[in-house]
Chain A
Amino acid sequence: MNRRHGDRSRKALRKGWFEMIRISVILLATLACLHAQDGPVLFSRDILPLLSDHCFQCHGPDANDRHGDLRLDDEDDAKRPRDPFAVVTPHDSARSLIMDRLRTSDPDTVMPPPELGRPLSPEQITLLERWIDEGAPWGRHWAFEPIARPPLPDRDGGEHPIDRFVREKLDQAGLVPNPRASRATLARRLALDLTGLPPSRAEREAFLKDPSPNAWARLVDQLLESPAYGERMAWDWLEAARYADTNGYQGDRERTMWPWRDWVVRAFNANLPYDQFTIWQLAGDLLPKPTRDQLLATGFNRNHMINGEGGRIPEENRVDYVMDMTETMGTVWLGLTLNCARCHDHKFDPLTQSEYYQFTAFFNQTPVDGSGGDPQTPPVLEVDTTFTEAAPKVMIMRDRDETRPTYILDRGLYTARGETVDPNGPATLPPLTGRADGKRDRLDLARWLVSHDHPLTARVTVNRFWQMLFGIGLVKTAEDFGVQAEYPLQRELLDWLAAEFMDSGWDVKHLLRTIVTSAVYQQRATVTPALLEADPDNRYLARGARFRLPSWMLRDQALAAAGLLVPQLGGPPVKPYQPDGLWAEATFGKKRYEPDSGKALYRRSLYTFWRRIVGPAMFFDVAKRQVCEVKPLRTNTPMQALNMLNDTTYVEAARALAEDLLRSCENDRERLDQASQSVLGRLPHEDERALWERSLTRARNAFEADPTAAEAFLSHGASARDATLKASDHATWTAICLNLLNLDEALTKE
């Protein structure tokens, strides 16, 4: 039996080997020359990153740290006449000072200075030379250029726009896209991506049987209309919004922001256009006659940590909060690391320290004074809800009548006040127009962010959604679109998506539908060694995404597969299982974690109570919810294995799934089929069956020989078990299901 499988596998592998040689030959020939850039040198793609990496540290935007009276971030300064010639003389590299300083062998004058440890390669120096000889055309960082909808690459057939852009790059690289994944794989991929849950049995079966060419589109629409969609989308937004149920810091008092969280879910489900979604959250309170939802939405800003430590100076706290609100806005909408300009002009981006404080001025107008640690510091909104008897008070935004002056703070210190600044945007971005009286407030800021001529918001946003689906953004640094961000390989695609997003009326569901209906999204995720070598992060998109599910989704998946999930939307946070003693240890015994009972144990992970100083233990690689985070961490550690193997959540889910199998199936073969369908959405392959049978025999022998162990193994979790089932059978299948939940395939979206 082993031998037979071996032969077949070897044959398959041999086939893979030929495929690999073919691809690797093409790759070696083509990927290398793509980087050499045969066409004209493009400033924003080829030159600016190089100047930024190697020169801006001393010759960049930071006026306080500039050397040699030279700015290489400024065309005029770089090209201005000097003795004996300009640093950059267009069309004449021989008479450009920069080339001398790059090529000299004198260690005292060579640039960059050796101690900086950032030498340019000979290829980079040649590239600069070519650029100068081509006329040294200047330009701006690509992400600050207006978004223009690029024309679709001219290709035959009515292909999807995304596929056209991607195919063009693949053709240039000599790569062949993977074929479409199987329908079963696709159903699971899509459901996890759009709802964070595996497809229900009915959804899956309907899709698999649907012969219509519209079957895929129908499934997409069905999932987008599911209430679970809003819950799935809310998780990432909560991480960006640093949402938590406590203040953070010592004391870590509890707060009531969950009605805001529920608004987020509702907003995604109602497909509130993203421009409105933005305006409501940043400035709903400043809208004319704001609705209760528009007020509630502004809770976004107030999700920051609150420092209630005794001895802290209120103004110091208040300034911290203002900076946090500002920087969160900067990361989420601008994709800029504003915090770098707190203390000094930005080292790389055209953003001065005073511009940083102009941004803070928008958020500097609330009546919050920073004193005390009251988690419900006014302004608050009393929210009508059916979940609790008393109307919860949620922190929201409101501006004072009197304008509070905003100062530039030397080194970011709240006491080191310099000049005052007014609210405004930075010079490098389109003008932020205010009202007739010339004043600007948060509403103007929000409207500016979602104006069609803003170069960043749409790009940054579609990139985050792309990242959600593909595991990595078209721009790898979802949190930074500044000059240090890479020039995106798929720049045209990014810009097309951004333009499409805005033109659709900032329709998030439309955007997601557009992406998931592409062939690129639906590709198989298999990878050959050669392709892995050439394109480890799948930037060319010659294959489907394959990555471990977020830990919160693993839990939801297990509950759903086991039939334990309680799909109730919204409400106060819940406390599922967590190892004993973690809160007590982190709070010197002041707080103790009491798990909930009953249905609250089986709610979606989204509703888990989040204590900031000691987050839920069952979630790994998640944002800490202390400051804004928009890029997921993805590690692969033994700790995760222990969590998945031993956490009560998974053992109980396995038990519930096993119970279902034992009740509804006739024999082991059927049980295995159904278990595999529930978790993986597919039937086992024949060679897998042998391995599962081996496990069945092991488990059955163990539990039949030790009835006490079987009883013990069935005792995990609070849900009742069906005592009419034979304990050894039930325990055996629980063990099988637990292994199933731990399969790499189960842990992974593929």
Chain B
Amino acid sequence: MHHPSWQILQPDAPAPIRERQLAINRRHFFGRSATGIGTAALASLLGNDASIAAEAGLATLAQHVAPKAKRVIYLFQNGGPTHCDLFDYKPRLHALHGTPVPEEYIGGKRFSTMTGEANGKLMLEPVEPFRQHGQSGAWVSAFMPHTARIADELCFIKSMHTDAVNHAPAISFLLSGAQIPGRPTMGAWLNYGLGSPSEELPGFVAMTSVSKGTSCGQIFYDFYWGSGFLPSRFQGVKFRGSKDPVLYLKDPAGMSRTLRRGLLDDLAALNARKFAQMGDPEIETRIAQYEMAYRMQTSVPELTDFSDEPDHVLDLYGPQVREPGTFAYNCLMARRLAERGVRFIQCMHAGWDQHNSLTTELYTQCRDTDQPSAGLVQDLKMRGLLDDTLVIWGGEFGRTPFIQGELTNRPRWGRDHHPYAFTVWLTGGGVRPGISYGVSDDLGFNVAQDPVHVHDFQATLLHLLGIDHERLTYRFQGRYFRLTDVHGALVDGILA
């Protein structure tokens, strides 16, 4: 295979984790070594590319701790799935159904403006019955029959808590460690820290889906897969929800692959010259993206061709897997992307915002996501991929154990946003299967034991990929930034 001589500019250059604040940190590096990548690019153009990596410090690579997972599939459930009705069984909710929230649970808590004060709100029992499943005896409600069947593979964290009460800030917080939009997201951090093992596909792919008939118009903001202040080539690449996830893939008739390859090399050389002259880092990104575009022309058609998937595999994901743009379709895409080495795959599914639709839309929501999520885990396991793939299922917060709406109007039962305790599940690469970690109180209101803050969760995720969250930093405007800001503690209890 032809490798252009300036390949060092690629994100898939050897994984550039740094011991101290060295190496790939472009701006830092620029500050130390004359002309940085400009020199590298130019030198390589001139056929003088020996030891550029060494010069740039890119060759000194090491992960901080032994990695358990090589990649992440984040099944992000936008909107705040109701832990009370899905995974966190609280029998006392039946007993207190219709009675006011006991005062000792509230104390100074902040809810979304829809609820305002929690005082006087009435408790609401789970909509569907819970049952224990598998060897591990995990409690899962009847909303999630397929997830229940793989409960022994899963590690439930029932003591998650977050700082934000509204969707966009809370989603940003989970994905980027900051509520304000515009910070680098986890996928960008990981590709920056570890590089991308895939030469043929971007290291960070985002896909989105919405359940049919979802009334809540949640928006997928581009900053959910943004690179923030990290160089823009680390941003997630968003695939369209369609059988053609990437448009304009085919070379125009008459343009052979060989000719295109050569012309792109020349184009890159001209752009590298421009970079040396102007110093604008966007040029460097552009060079990398044109190269990635070339590779995706081969890799994407093959990626999206499901004809090699036997029926028994497709059936794992449920009937919607054949319908581009659905969560099921995206889950199968996620597995195919994982097989091809993509570092971070972010499948976002909106519609978990049951303010008044626990007895209606929640069923659709679960039907559209339950089987595909479980199917993905089983499929990964069958292929041995689960050993080094970390799969995460969860949203930005939970939902209140008390009702939003009228108790007498069952068709409009709802729950409001709830940041004080919620559930996510993880499985695969380095996570202890078949356990439930952390405990919420007897109403699922607050965390009672082993709290896991968003930053703890992020620190643990990085750890599983071999990164010390305190040492993955990027210098921006005079300050070293981290995914976990100045917080985060490793959650040992979930490690295998």
Partner-B contacts on A (CB < 8 A) = 2-3, 5-6, 9, 12-14, 16-17, 24, 31-32, 58, 62, 64-65, 67, 115-117, 343-344, 411, 525-530, 532-534, 536, 546-548, 579, 581-582, 585, 617, 633, 635-643, 645-648, 651, 687-688, 691-692, 694-695, 698-699, 702, 706, 709-716, 731, 735, 738-739, 742-745, 747-748, 750
Asked if A710 meets B282 with Cβ closer than 8 Å, knowing A635-B222, A635-B235, the reply is no
Q: B285 and A67: CB pair below 8 A?
A: no
Asked if A702 meets B256 with Cβ closer than 8 Å, knowing A64-B113, A115-B163, A579-B244, the reply is yes
Consensus secondary structure, chain A interface = helix
- Taken together as a complex, chains A and B put the C-alpha atoms of A665 and B269 apart, in Å, by 26
**A-facing mask of B230-241, CB < 8 A → 1, else 0?**
001101011000
Q: B253 and A716: CB pair below 8 A?
A: yes
Q: B252 and A648: CB pair below 8 A?
A: yes
Asked if A635 meets B232 with Cβ closer than 8 Å, knowing A67-B108, A526-B279, the reply is yes
Q: B31 and A24: CB pair below 8 A?
A: yes
Q: B108 and A640: CB pair below 8 A?
A: no
Q: A546 and B280: CB pair below 8 A?
A: yes
The answer to whether the Cβ of B322 comes within 8 Å of any Cβ in the partner chain is: no
Give the distance to chain A from B191, nearest Cβ to Cβ, in Å: 14
15 examples of A-B residue contacts, CB within 8 angstroms: A12-B276, A13-B34, A117-B179, A529-B31, A546-B280, A635-B232, A636-B286, A639-B237, A643-B248, A645-B248, A698-B263, A731-B254, A742-B290, A743-B267, A744-B287
**A-facing mask of B286-319, CB < 8 A → 1, else 0?**
1101101100110000000000000000000000
Q: B27 and A698: CB pair below 8 A?
A: no
Q: A637 and B266: CB pair below 8 A?
A: no
Q: A529 and B46: CB pair below 8 A?
A: no
Q: B47 and A2: CB pair below 8 A?
A: yes
Known pairs A635-B235, A695-B262, A698-B266. 17 more at Cβ < 8 A?
A12-B276, A16-B35, A31-B478, A65-B110, A65-B113, A116-B163, A411-B113, A527-B279, A536-B27, A639-B248, A641-B293, A688-B270, A706-B256, A712-B253, A715-B253, A739-B266, A743-B274
Asked if A713 meets B252 with Cβ closer than 8 Å, knowing A536-B229, A617-B247, the reply is yes
**A-facing mask of B202-238, CB < 8 A → 1, else 0?**
1000000000000000000010000001001101011
Q: List the A side residues contacting B31 at CB < 8 Å.
A: 24, 529-530, 533
Task: Rank and list the top 6 A-B pairs by shortest CB-CB distance, nearest first.
Answer: A713-B254, A529-B30, A712-B254, A641-B293, A638-B293, A344-B113
The answer to whether the Cβ of B94 comes within 8 Å of any Cβ in the partner chain is: no
Q: B279 and A9: CB pair below 8 A?
A: no
The answer to whether the Cβ of B249 comes within 8 Å of any Cβ in the partner chain is: yes
The answer to whether the Cβ of B271 comes within 8 Å of any Cβ in the partner chain is: yes
Give the distance to chain A from B176, nearest Cβ to Cβ, in Å: 13
Q: List the B side residues contacting A640 at CB < 8 Å.
A: 289
Give the distance to chain A from B242, nearest Cβ to Cβ, in Å: 6
Q: List the B side residues contacting A582 at CB < 8 Å.
A: 242
Q: List the B side residues contacting A637 at CB < 8 Å.
A: 235, 237-238, 289
Q: A2 and B46: CB pair below 8 A?
A: yes
Using CB atoms, name the residue of chain B closest to A655: B252
The answer to whether the Cβ of B39 comes within 8 Å of any Cβ in the partner chain is: yes
Give the distance to chain A from B298, nearest Cβ to Cβ, in Å: 12
Q: A639 and B247: CB pair below 8 A?
A: yes
Give the distance to chain B from A711, nearest Cβ to Cβ, in Å: 7
Contact of B289 (CB < 8 Å), options: A12, A638, A745: A638
Q: B276 and A651: CB pair below 8 A?
A: no
The answer to whether the Cβ of B281 comes within 8 Å of any Cβ in the partner chain is: yes
Contact of A533 (CB < 8 Å), options: B27, B47, B48, B258: B27
Q: A743 and B270: CB pair below 8 A?
A: yes
Name, among A6, A58, A641, A731, the residue most crowded by chain B CB atoms within 10 Å (CB to CB).
A641
Using CB atoms, name the residue of chain B closest to A578: B247
Q: List the B side residues contacting A710 at CB < 8 Å.
A: 254
- Taken together as a complex, chains A and B put the C-alpha atoms of A241 and B267 apart, in Å, by 38
Q: A713 and B255: CB pair below 8 A?
A: yes
Q: B296 and A532: CB pair below 8 A?
A: no
Interface residues of B in 150-180 (CB under 8 A from A): 163, 179
The answer to whether the Cβ of B54 comes within 8 Å of any Cβ in the partner chain is: no
- Taken together as a complex, chains A and B put the C-alpha atoms of A629 and B259 apart, in Å, by 41
Give the distance to chain A from B445, nearest Cβ to Cβ, in Å: 15
Contact of B116 (CB < 8 Å), options: A65, A526, A711, A744: A65
Q: List the A side residues contacting B96 at CB < 8 Å.
A: none
- Taken together as a complex, chains A and B put the C-alpha atoms of A75 and B402 apart, in Å, by 37
- Taken together as a complex, chains A and B put the C-alpha atoms of A190 and B43 apart, in Å, by 34
Give the distance to chain B from A54, nearest Cβ to Cβ, in Å: 12
Q: B222 and A642: CB pair below 8 A?
A: no
The answer to whether the Cβ of B50 comes within 8 Å of any Cβ in the partner chain is: no
Q: A695 and B263: CB pair below 8 A?
A: yes
Give the distance to chain B from A282, nearest Cβ to Cβ, in Å: 26
Q: A647 and B248: CB pair below 8 A?
A: yes
Name, among A17, A533, A548, A711, the residue most crowded by chain B CB atoms within 10 Å (CB to CB).
A533
The answer to whether the Cβ of B250 comes within 8 Å of any Cβ in the partner chain is: yes
Give the distance to chain B from A332, nearest Cβ to Cβ, in Å: 20
Asked if A691 meets B113 with Cβ closer than 8 Å, knowing A527-B280, A641-B290, the reply is no
The answer to whether the Cβ of B367 comes within 8 Å of any Cβ in the partner chain is: no
The answer to whether the Cβ of B13 comes within 8 Å of any Cβ in the partner chain is: no
Q: List the A side residues contacting B287 at CB < 8 Å.
A: 744
Q: A642 and B286: CB pair below 8 A?
A: no
The answer to whether the Cβ of B407 comes within 8 Å of any Cβ in the partner chain is: no
- Taken together as a complex, chains A and B put the C-alpha atoms of A335 and B222 apart, in Å, by 22
The answer to whether the Cβ of B121 comes within 8 Å of any Cβ in the partner chain is: no
Q: List the B side residues contacting A738 at CB < 8 Å.
A: 263
